[in-house]
Amino acid sequence: MQSLEVAWSDLFAARSKIRERYRSIYEIPLLKNRRGLFRLFLRNGMKVLDCGAGFRGAKIEIERLGIRLLYKSMDIDKRLPHDFYTLADIQEKFDAVLLFEVLEHLSLTEAKGLLLALRELLADEGLLLASVPNTYNPSRYMADATHRTFFAYDELCGLISLCGFEILYVARSFNDAAHRYIVKVYILGFLFRLLSLDYAKSIFVVGKKT
Protein backbone atom coordinates (compact mmCIF):
# COMPACT_ATOMS: atom_id res chain seq x y z
CA MET A 1 0.00 0.00 0.00
CA GLN A 2 1.33 3.44 -0.94
CA SER A 3 2.15 5.72 1.99
CA LEU A 4 -0.29 8.54 2.63
CA GLU A 5 2.51 10.82 3.78
CA VAL A 6 3.08 13.63 1.30
CA ALA A 7 6.82 14.24 1.08
CA TRP A 8 7.53 17.93 0.56
CA SER A 9 10.30 17.23 -1.95
CA ASP A 10 8.00 15.05 -4.08
CA LEU A 11 5.21 17.62 -4.02
CA PHE A 12 7.66 20.41 -4.83
CA ALA A 13 8.95 18.50 -7.86
CA ALA A 14 5.42 17.78 -9.08
CA ARG A 15 4.42 21.41 -8.56
CA SER A 16 7.42 22.56 -10.54
CA LYS A 17 6.33 20.54 -13.57
CA ILE A 18 2.96 22.30 -13.57
CA ARG A 19 4.71 25.66 -13.11
CA GLU A 20 6.62 24.95 -16.31
CA ARG A 21 3.28 24.73 -18.12
CA TYR A 22 1.57 27.59 -16.29
CA ARG A 23 4.03 30.02 -14.75
CA SER A 24 1.26 31.96 -13.02
CA ILE A 25 -2.43 31.61 -12.24
CA TYR A 26 -3.22 34.15 -14.96
CA GLU A 27 -1.86 31.91 -17.72
CA ILE A 28 -4.48 29.26 -16.98
CA PRO A 29 -7.41 29.54 -19.43
CA LEU A 30 -10.89 30.55 -18.32
CA LEU A 31 -13.88 28.22 -18.47
CA LYS A 32 -17.36 29.44 -17.58
CA ASN A 33 -18.42 26.48 -15.44
CA ARG A 34 -18.16 22.73 -15.04
CA ARG A 35 -20.61 22.14 -17.86
CA GLY A 36 -17.72 23.09 -20.11
CA LEU A 37 -15.75 20.20 -18.62
CA PHE A 38 -18.64 17.84 -19.22
CA ARG A 39 -18.81 18.85 -22.88
CA LEU A 40 -15.09 18.32 -23.30
CA PHE A 41 -14.59 15.04 -21.49
CA LEU A 42 -17.84 13.12 -20.93
CA ARG A 43 -19.33 10.95 -23.66
CA ASN A 44 -22.47 8.90 -24.20
CA GLY A 45 -22.25 5.46 -22.65
CA MET A 46 -19.67 6.34 -20.00
CA LYS A 47 -20.05 5.12 -16.43
CA VAL A 48 -19.50 8.00 -14.01
CA LEU A 49 -19.13 8.23 -10.23
CA ASP A 50 -19.85 11.58 -8.56
CA CYS A 51 -17.91 11.62 -5.27
CA GLY A 52 -19.14 14.18 -2.76
CA ALA A 53 -22.22 14.58 -4.92
CA GLY A 54 -24.32 16.61 -2.49
CA PHE A 55 -27.68 17.28 -4.13
CA ARG A 56 -26.58 15.46 -7.33
CA GLY A 57 -26.57 18.69 -9.30
CA ALA A 58 -23.96 17.34 -11.72
CA LYS A 59 -26.43 14.68 -12.86
CA ILE A 60 -28.97 17.35 -13.81
CA GLU A 61 -26.36 19.41 -15.67
CA ILE A 62 -25.12 16.38 -17.61
CA GLU A 63 -28.66 15.39 -18.61
CA ARG A 64 -29.41 18.93 -19.79
CA LEU A 65 -26.38 18.74 -22.06
CA GLY A 66 -27.89 15.66 -23.69
CA ILE A 67 -25.08 13.36 -22.59
CA ARG A 68 -26.50 9.89 -21.91
CA LEU A 69 -24.38 8.02 -19.40
CA LEU A 70 -24.69 5.84 -16.30
CA TYR A 71 -24.43 8.15 -13.29
CA LYS A 72 -23.89 6.99 -9.73
CA SER A 73 -23.32 9.16 -6.67
CA MET A 74 -21.45 8.82 -3.40
CA ASP A 75 -21.67 11.11 -0.39
CA ILE A 76 -21.28 10.66 3.36
CA ASP A 77 -24.49 12.62 4.05
CA LYS A 78 -27.09 9.89 4.61
CA ARG A 79 -29.91 12.42 4.69
CA LEU A 80 -29.63 12.67 0.92
CA PRO A 81 -30.34 9.88 -1.59
CA HIS A 82 -27.16 8.36 -3.01
CA ASP A 83 -26.02 5.07 -4.47
CA PHE A 84 -23.12 4.79 -2.00
CA TYR A 85 -22.27 6.32 1.36
CA THR A 86 -18.70 5.00 1.70
CA LEU A 87 -16.03 4.15 -0.84
CA ALA A 88 -15.85 0.67 0.69
CA ASP A 89 -19.37 0.01 -0.61
CA ILE A 90 -18.24 0.45 -4.22
CA GLN A 91 -17.27 -2.75 -5.99
CA GLU A 92 -17.23 -1.61 -9.62
CA LYS A 93 -15.12 0.40 -12.06
CA PHE A 94 -15.94 3.73 -13.68
CA ASP A 95 -14.85 5.57 -16.80
CA ALA A 96 -14.78 8.90 -14.95
CA VAL A 97 -14.95 10.20 -11.40
CA LEU A 98 -16.26 13.67 -10.54
CA LEU A 99 -14.71 15.32 -7.47
CA PHE A 100 -15.99 18.87 -7.23
CA GLU A 101 -15.20 21.07 -4.21
CA VAL A 102 -14.31 18.14 -1.93
CA LEU A 103 -10.54 18.06 -1.38
CA GLU A 104 -10.42 21.40 0.44
CA HIS A 105 -12.52 19.83 3.22
CA LEU A 106 -9.78 17.27 3.94
CA SER A 107 -6.28 17.29 5.35
CA LEU A 108 -3.43 16.82 2.89
CA THR A 109 -2.97 13.16 3.82
CA GLU A 110 -6.72 12.54 3.66
CA ALA A 111 -6.83 14.15 0.23
CA LYS A 112 -4.04 11.89 -0.98
CA GLY A 113 -5.82 8.85 0.44
CA LEU A 114 -9.05 9.78 -1.32
CA LEU A 115 -7.32 10.33 -4.66
CA LEU A 116 -5.55 6.98 -4.42
CA ALA A 117 -8.81 5.23 -3.54
CA LEU A 118 -10.65 6.87 -6.43
CA ARG A 119 -7.87 5.87 -8.81
CA GLU A 120 -8.55 2.24 -7.91
CA LEU A 121 -12.20 2.70 -8.88
CA LEU A 122 -11.29 3.94 -12.36
CA ALA A 123 -10.98 1.77 -15.43
CA ASP A 124 -7.71 1.90 -17.36
CA GLU A 125 -7.12 5.46 -18.61
CA GLY A 126 -10.20 6.59 -16.68
CA LEU A 127 -10.66 10.30 -16.03
CA LEU A 128 -10.72 12.33 -12.83
CA LEU A 129 -12.57 15.67 -13.09
CA ALA A 130 -11.82 17.71 -9.98
CA SER A 131 -12.17 21.24 -8.67
CA VAL A 132 -11.22 23.27 -5.60
CA PRO A 133 -11.80 26.92 -4.63
CA ASN A 134 -9.26 29.26 -6.19
CA THR A 135 -6.84 30.31 -3.46
CA TYR A 136 -6.09 33.52 -5.38
CA ASN A 137 -9.72 34.49 -4.70
CA PRO A 138 -9.67 34.57 -0.86
CA SER A 139 -13.43 34.96 -0.41
CA ARG A 140 -13.99 31.62 -2.13
CA TYR A 141 -11.95 29.75 0.46
CA MET A 142 -12.53 31.83 3.58
CA ALA A 143 -16.33 31.89 3.30
CA ASP A 144 -16.69 28.25 4.43
CA ALA A 145 -15.65 27.26 7.96
CA THR A 146 -15.44 23.58 6.96
CA HIS A 147 -12.52 24.21 4.60
CA ARG A 148 -9.31 22.71 5.97
CA THR A 149 -6.62 22.81 3.28
CA PHE A 150 -5.57 25.44 0.75
CA PHE A 151 -4.84 23.97 -2.69
CA ALA A 152 -3.17 26.39 -5.09
CA TYR A 153 -3.40 25.27 -8.72
CA ASP A 154 0.14 23.88 -8.80
CA GLU A 155 -0.31 21.99 -5.53
CA LEU A 156 -3.58 20.47 -6.69
CA CYS A 157 -2.08 19.33 -9.98
CA GLY A 158 1.04 18.14 -8.20
CA LEU A 159 -0.87 16.03 -5.69
CA ILE A 160 -3.09 14.53 -8.38
CA SER A 161 -0.06 13.61 -10.48
CA LEU A 162 1.66 12.04 -7.45
CA CYS A 163 -1.41 9.82 -7.04
CA GLY A 164 -1.01 8.26 -10.47
CA PHE A 165 -2.66 10.64 -12.92
CA GLU A 166 -1.46 12.46 -16.01
CA ILE A 167 -2.67 16.07 -15.99
CA LEU A 168 -4.65 16.59 -19.19
CA TYR A 169 -6.34 19.92 -18.60
CA VAL A 170 -6.37 22.85 -16.18
CA ALA A 171 -8.80 25.78 -16.19
CA ARG A 172 -10.06 28.64 -14.04
CA SER A 173 -13.81 28.86 -13.52
CA PHE A 174 -15.40 32.26 -14.03
CA ASN A 175 -18.83 33.29 -15.25
CA ASP A 176 -20.64 36.59 -14.73
CA ALA A 177 -22.99 39.02 -16.38
CA ALA A 178 -21.47 40.35 -19.61
CA HIS A 179 -20.71 43.85 -18.31
CA ARG A 180 -19.05 42.58 -15.11
CA TYR A 181 -17.12 39.94 -17.06
CA ILE A 182 -15.70 42.61 -19.38
CA VAL A 183 -14.79 44.89 -16.49
CA LYS A 184 -13.05 42.20 -14.43
CA VAL A 185 -11.28 40.37 -17.25
CA TYR A 186 -10.39 43.12 -19.72
CA ILE A 187 -10.45 46.42 -17.82
CA LEU A 188 -9.37 45.61 -14.26
CA GLY A 189 -7.33 42.52 -15.06
CA PHE A 190 -4.06 44.41 -14.54
CA LEU A 191 -5.19 45.42 -11.04
CA PHE A 192 -5.92 41.83 -10.04
CA ARG A 193 -2.44 40.87 -11.25
CA LEU A 194 -0.86 43.76 -9.38
CA LEU A 195 -2.51 42.60 -6.15
CA SER A 196 -1.84 38.89 -6.82
CA LEU A 197 -5.58 38.24 -6.73
CA ASP A 198 -7.94 36.55 -9.17
CA TYR A 199 -11.62 36.91 -10.03
CA ALA A 200 -11.94 33.23 -11.04
CA LYS A 201 -13.83 31.21 -8.46
CA SER A 202 -12.48 27.67 -8.83
CA ILE A 203 -9.68 25.65 -10.37
CA PHE A 204 -10.62 22.71 -12.60
CA VAL A 205 -8.20 19.84 -13.20
CA VAL A 206 -8.68 16.77 -15.39
CA GLY A 207 -6.35 13.84 -14.89
CA LYS A 208 -6.07 10.51 -16.68
CA LYS A 209 -5.24 7.33 -14.78
CA THR A 210 -1.78 6.08 -15.72
Q: Percent of the chain at pLDDT above 90?
A: 84
- What mean pLDDT comes out for the span 85-102? 97
The answer to whether residues 101 and 132 touch, using CB atoms and an 8 Å cutoff, is yes
Mean pLDDT, the chain, whole residue set: 95
The answer to whether residues 35 and 65 touch, using CB atoms and an 8 Å cutoff, is yes
Strand-strand pairing, 94-100 and 70-74: unpaired
Would you list the domain boundaries of the chain? 8-209
Residue at 44: amino acid letter: N
List, as own/partner pairs, every contact residues 143-149 make where C-beta atoms lie below 8 angstroms and the sequence separation is at least 24, other chains included. 146/105, 147/104, 147/105, 148/104, 148/105, 148/106, 148/107, 149/103, 149/104, 149/106, 149/107, 149/108, 149/111
The answer to whether residues 158 and 130 touch, using CB atoms and an 8 Å cutoff, is no
pTM of the predicted structure, to 2 decimals:
0.93
The answer to whether residues 172 and 29 touch, using CB atoms and an 8 Å cutoff, is yes
pLDDT confidence of residue 54: 93
Q: Compare 209 and 190 and report the one with higher pLDDT.
A: 209
Which of 25-34, 41-50, 126-135, 173-182 is the least confident region? 173-182
Q: Rounded to whole angstroms, how far apart are CA atoms 167 and 82?
A: 29
pLDDT confidence of residue 151: 94
Residue 84: Cβ within 10 Å count: 18
- What mean pLDDT comes out for the span 91-119? 97
**What's the CATH code, domain 8-209?**
3.40.50.150
In three-state secondary structure terms, 127 is strand
Q: How confident is the model at residue 164 (pLDDT cuts 50, 70, 90)?
A: very high
pLDDT confidence of residue 2: 67
Q: Which residues neighbour 156 within 8 Å (Cβ) at sequence distance 6 or greater?
A: 103, 130, 132, 203, 205
- What mean pLDDT comes out for the span 140-145? 83
